[in-house]
């Protein structure tokens, strides 16, 4: 099977803010770019010492630009992660003129372009990247947009001028605000401290907002509590974690401590990206995501048997991973999007279909729970 990766050339590498660098990428063979949706990410296969690793980075550019991609990467030098891996390698070794292997854009954290509702984009630190891509798309439409970026201070405030330019050009339809936890002398910002209830209430006229949230885990948990406390419906809040994907309502309910600011260093959650060092995770097939529509599921579906745990459940929608979790099991997972192979499980009987194509097709007899659904009765070795 064909490799899912193509080579891209870095045509521009530039400093955005302290520790944050953008890479502009064009297809090395001059062929057309893959299409992308606002909010999606690229998977890069990086030739770091010790063997290639996979890393995912959100597109920060306007996806309507079919001449080049842009990713904006924060240099993460974290405890427990070997030096030179991932973002450090990109910052330290990937130069203009070099090439790098990239797989097609993917990810279900995308702007709902069918909606006409006003939008609130809430970014914590480098979580700005997918939201900026969405902002570019929104700038071309007629929806009202409020864009808030929280960060430590002006030194680490990436892509600020680009956001401001889009807001200015919108003639007031897009409102952009910045909140600095610890501003430095000379910083220009709109509020000091953290995004709180009073700040949001001052910014948002009463309306039926659609919210997109991206940033460190503590930031997102805090924003989730704030937004739901203000009466927003959970289904109106969309979010994406760095690294290991999980459920924001679950974290909020579990009392995960809220980081009341964006730390200078990455949150521990980012260490979850270490799963991408799995050398078995090699791409061979790509596809755009096809998120499962919960209300499109049949009222009663096939039975899924979890053989080792002696449980079974009736599938009514969602992925096999979600079904297993709902049945009280705790399968391994990390990316929840078919990249890392963490959720790979033996299938003893039956077959599955994929709602999002795995980056690496599992071997016969194996399935990826996070992106599959049963086709009839299925028996899993779980």
Q: Which phi and psi (to 5°) does residue 350 adopt?
A: 90, -175
- Nearest-angstrom CA–CA distance, 365 and 351: 9
Distance CA 244, CA 154 (A): 28
Q: Please identify, using beta-carbon distances, which residue of 19 and 272 lies nearer to ligand FES.
A: 272
Our CB check for ligand FES shows the closer of 131 and 371 to be 371
Place of tokens 């096939």: 302
CB nearer ligand FES, residue 315 or residue 333: 333
Q: Sketch the per residue contact string, 334 through 373, with ligand FES: x for CB under 6 A, - otherwise.
A: xxx-xxxxxx------------------------x-x---
Closest to ligand FES by CB, 43 vs 342, is 342
Identify whether the C-beta of residue 306 lies closer than 8 Å to the C-beta of residue 327. yes
- The residue count of the chain comes to 382
**Residue 368 C-beta: closest distance to ligand FES, Å:** 5
Least distance in angstroms from the C-beta of 338 to ligand FES: 5
- For the chain, the distance separating the N- and C-terminal CA atoms, rounded to the nearest angstrom, is 29
Tokens of 312: 């079974």
277 binds ligand FES (CB under 6 A): no
231: left (phi over 0), alpha (psi -120 to 50) or beta: left
- By beta-carbon proximity to ligand FES, the closer residue of 8 and 333 is 333
Q: Which of residues 295-334 bind ligand FES (CB under 6 A)?
A: 333-334
Residue 372: strand pairing partners: 354
**Beta carbon nearer to ligand FES, 176 or 368:** 368
Nearest approach in angstroms of CB 371 to ligand FES is 6
Q: Which of 18/325 has CB closer to ligand FES?
A: 325
Size of the site for ligand FES (CB under 6 A): 12
Distance CA 317, CA 292 (A): 7
Rounded CA-CA distance 261/120 in Å is: 19
Locate 158 and state its tokens.
């990436």
| 347 CB burial (10 A radius; 0-12, 13-18, 19+) | buried
- Which residue has the closest beta carbon to ligand FES? 370
Q: Quick one: tokens of 356?
A: 């999002």
CB 331, min distance to ligand FES, A? 9
Tell me how far CA of residue 199 lies from CA of 196, 229, 375, in angstroms. Answer: 5, 14, 49
DSSP 327-353: TT-----SSSSSSS-TTEEEEEEEEEE
Nearer to ligand FES, 323 or 343 (CB): 343
Q: How far is the CB of 281 from ligand FES (least distance, A)?
A: 8
Q: Minimum distance from CB of 333 to ligand FES (Å)? A: 4
Q: State the nearest-atom distance from the C-beta of 360 to ligand FES, in Å.
A: 9
CB of 301 to ligand FES, least distance (A): 21
Specify the DSSP class assigned to residue 159. Answer: T
Contact set with ligand FES (CB under 6 A): 333-336, 338-343, 368, 370
């Amino acid at each position: 099977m064909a490799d899912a990766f193509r080579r891209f050339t870095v045509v521009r590498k530039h400093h955005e803010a302290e520790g944050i660098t953008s890479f502009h990428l064009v297809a090395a063979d001059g062929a057309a770019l893959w299409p992308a949706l606002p909010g999606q990410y690229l998977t890069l296969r990086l030739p770091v010492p010790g063997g290639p690793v996979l890393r995912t980075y959100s597109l920060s550019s306007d996806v309507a630009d079919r001449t080049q991609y842009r990713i904006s990467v924060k240099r993460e030098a974290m405890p427990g992660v070997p030096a030179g891996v991932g973002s450090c390698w990109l910052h330290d070794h990937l130069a203009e003129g070099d090439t790098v292997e990239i797989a097609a854009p993917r990810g279900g954290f995308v702007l709902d372009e069918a909606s006409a509702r006003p939008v609130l984009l809430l970014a914590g630190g480098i979580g700005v990247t997918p939201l900026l891509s969405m902002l570019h798309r929104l700038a071309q439409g007629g929806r009202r947009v409020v864009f808030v970026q929280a960060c430590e201070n002006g030194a680490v405030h990436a892509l600020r001028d680009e956001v401001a330019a889009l807001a200015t050009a919108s003639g007031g339809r897009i409102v952009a605000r910045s909140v600095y936890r610890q501003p430095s002398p000379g910083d220009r910002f709109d509020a000091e401290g953290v995004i709180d209830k009073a700040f949001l209430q001052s910014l948002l006229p009463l309306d039926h907002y659609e919210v997109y949230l991206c940033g460190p885990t503590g930031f997102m948990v805090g924003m989730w509590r704030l937004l739901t406390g203000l009466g927003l419906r959970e289904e109106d809040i969309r979010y994406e974690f760095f690294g290991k994907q999980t459920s924001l309502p679950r974290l909020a309910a579990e009392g995960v401590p809220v980081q009341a600011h964006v730390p200078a260093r990455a949150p521990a959650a980012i260490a979850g990206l270490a799963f991408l060092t799995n050398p078995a995770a090699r791409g061979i097939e790509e596809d755009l995501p096809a998120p499962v529509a919960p209300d499109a599921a049949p009222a009663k579906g096939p039975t899924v048997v979890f053989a080792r745990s002696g449980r079974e459940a009736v599938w009514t929608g969602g992925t096999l991973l979600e079904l297993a979790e709902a049945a009280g099991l705790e399968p391994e997972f990390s990316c929840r999007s078919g990249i890392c192979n963490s959720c790979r499980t033996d299938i003893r009987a039956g077959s599955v279909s994929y709602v999002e194509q795995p980056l690496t097709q599992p071997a016969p007899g194996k399935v990826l729970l996070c992106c599959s659904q049963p086709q009839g009765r299925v028996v899993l070795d779980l």
